[in-house]
Amino acid sequence: MLIREYRTDDEEGWLRCRVLSFLHTAYYDNVLQEKETYDHPSIELVAVESGKIVGLIDIECEEEIKTVCAECSSLGGMIWHLAVHPDFQCQGIGQQLLLEAEKRLKAQTIDQLEAYTRDDEWVNRWYQKNGFHQVNHYLHVIMENNELNGIIESSLKKLRPISCFAHYTGEEENTIKNKFSRVHECRCYRKDI
């Protein structure tokens, strides 16, 4: 397996790897049709096996504190995407991508990493095993159909909202969890490198 920098002609393989790796997670409906680009410098790596992208990591790097990361106390890098194709999981590919990215971050004087993930316990254990510590959380609330009644309304006649994605940062988490059928805890992790 080869870990190398992402190239623009990798986009389709990157998208396929990401969507398949997210399929059986709480992010199953977070599908992209184009790879994101970043406003700040970034480290974008892929793991390639037999010409196929089997893993990826994208980290946007700060040049000034608090311009990308919310919880880093020094220059940080935000992990926006980290994924391993399901046929290649549990082989250490995610850890190898992270280690290579950390080596490159240190050369850029980035001291900390930040990442957000939902409440899949196996994903959270992976972050913890790799030296990350949870520093914050909030809720992702996905509302659909009748759950929107009295919550979201359209000012246009004959336009009826049928789904909504929202962040909840208040103190009444149990109320939110009991009111809506799909609520995920979005956990913020930080790591000193």
CA distance 25 to 23: 6
Distance of CA 98 to CAs 78, 115, 166, Å? 12, 12, 29
List the alpha helices (DSSP H) in 27-133.
Answer: 93-107, 121-129
Q: What percent of the chain has pLDDT over 70?
A: 100
**Nearest-CA neighbor of 57 among 39, 77, 80?**
80
Q: Where are the domains of the chain?
A: 2-114
Q: How does the average pLDDT of the chain come out, rounded?
A: 97
Overall residue count recorded for the chain in this entry: 193
Q: What is the pLDDT of residues 100-153, one digit of tens each?
A: 999 999 999 999 999 999 999 999 999 999 999 999 999 999 999 999 999 999
| Residue 49 identity (one-letter amino acid) | E
> 2-114 maps to which CATH number?
3.40.630.30
Q: What is the pLDDT of residues 64-75, one digit of tens each?
A: 999 999 999 999
